[in-house]
Homo-oligomer: A and B are copies of this chain.
Amino acid sequence: MKLWLTTITAALSLNAAANELTLDTNLAYQLTESLTVEVGQRLAGSEADARAVTWAEQKFKQLGYDKVWTEPFTMQYWQRGSASLAVSAPFHQNLVVTALGGSIGTPFDGINAQVVMFESLEDLKQATQAQVKDKIVFINKSMGKDKLGTFYGSVVGARAQGAVEAAKLGAKAIIIRSVGTSINRFAHTGIMRYSEDVPRIPAAAISVPDAIQLDKMLSRQPELSLHLQMQNKLPGEVVSHNVIAEISGSQRPDEIVLISAHIDSWDEGTGALDDGAGVGIVMATGALLKQQGRPERTVRVVLFGNEEGGLVGARAYAAKHATNLENHVFASESDFGAGRIWRLDTGFGEKALAFGNTLQQKLAPLGVEPGDNTASGGPDVSVLKAQGVPVVSLQQDGTDYFDYHHTPNDTMDKIDPAAMRQNVEAWLITTREVANSKVDLRR
């Protein structure tokens, strides 16, 4: 053990000049800081994404993981260009706008059209072609706040499906009120979708203050025109990578306890909360676990690529490992910011619920309450859950998560180091309990 620590220390000291790492529960914060400072944004498929993959490989090795490797997958690469949105006379003003991920651009000179506002995606679906044709649709649905992010589901549909629904009725473009909970003037990006049989139209989000402003303008002047200009690029297929590292199990090395986060981020912030924090937490958990004594089962840390584009890395992982997913005895992902963990949800078989209760009791001193047995495990891990892999969700307090999520304001200064330490403590307990037991968590 002492020898091993010396080895780790020697490895870490290789990088001392760049950023010293210490093997305690603050390690997660240090790793997240290293990723956001030294790499920053890492849009899937970009050159920065490749740098993030290299960063992760190097850090895993420095941290003494037994095996470190990458697994390539192909993906459709989307690049943001310039974007601007202006209100025409009589209230000539620029609004803060951002392209939604995956959106096509406008013609070079932009699109000039009258705007038509709807309160929700559901209202848009009820509209007639006469209301919408040749206009720019504006969906102005606001979002509530809670610890679990419950309101996201009811709002994000406008972002994901709005372009298809608007285009069905002949709209020229769509803008949505940001899927976000802050009145700070940032537009929130995020993935959107097209449908093969519906024309593609440009899709963008405006900040919450700008949505309020546009609403007020429309109450004064219902016939208002907008000028939208966006220059996105869709260069086609590129290769990105999942980054994987293992602490080999001492007793049952073939049984895999998978903990994960996603390495990619949107491009306007530095991806500190989404999902630099998760990357730091799970990388630190594996390293600290080994420091405390090699686990009986193998602990595999997976940093999924291109989560933001639609769980692309996770699907590639599930496909590649399809034949040995039965060896995945457990999976979980940290991908909801850096707030304190306050609840344990499980996705276990009935006979493993007692194990879940015991686990929650071990987490209780950290303030973790019992939850339910309907955990998704996290966005990427939901793909594994669908294949029968048992999961938990270590629920973080996400009250403020959607203030920052997918904006330029998702930066390191928003993270509380003490909350990060609490996360690592909870992940360490959870991972150790599962990795050092023989429990079968499957349904």
Q: What residues of chain A have their CB less than 8 Å away from a CB belonging to chain B?
A: 17-19, 33, 36-41, 48, 51, 90-94, 96, 183-186, 208-209, 212-213, 216-217, 220-221, 269-270, 407-409, 411-414
Contacts and interface: CB of A to CB of B under 8 A. Distances in A.
A4 B1 CA distance: 91
Contact of A37 (B18, B91, B270, B412): B91
Tell me how many chains of this kind the complex includes. Answer: 2
A414 B270 contact: no
Contacts of A40: 91-93
Contacts of A19: 220
Given A37-B220, A217-B37, A413 B212 contact: yes
Contact of A413 (B18, B38, B39, B183): B183
A412 to B, nearest CB: 7
19 contacts: A17-B220, A19-B220, A33-B216, A37-B213, A37-B217, A38-B90, A38-B91, A39-B91, A40-B93, A41-B93, A51-B92, A93-B270, A183-B413, A184-B184, A184-B409, A185-B407, A209-B411, A209-B412, A212-B412
In order of increasing CB-CB distance, the 6 nearest A-B pairs are A40-B93, A209-B411, A185-B409, A37-B216, A183-B413, A209-B413
Given A37-B213, A220-B19, A220-B37, A92 B48 contact: yes
Which of A33, A37, A92 has the most chain B CB atoms closer than 10 A to its own CB?
Answer: A37
A51 B91 CA distance: 10
A96 B38 contact: no
B38 A220 contact: yes
Contacts of A183: 411, 413-414
Contacts of A217: 37-38
Contacts of A91: 37-40
A407 to B, nearest CB: 8
B213 A411 contact: yes
A93 B33 CA distance: 14
Contacts of A208: 413
A413 B216 CA distance: 12
A412 B184 contact: no
Nearest to A217: B37
Which of A51, A91, A183, A408 has the most chain B CB atoms closer than 10 A to its own CB?
Answer: A408
A412 B90 CA distance: 19
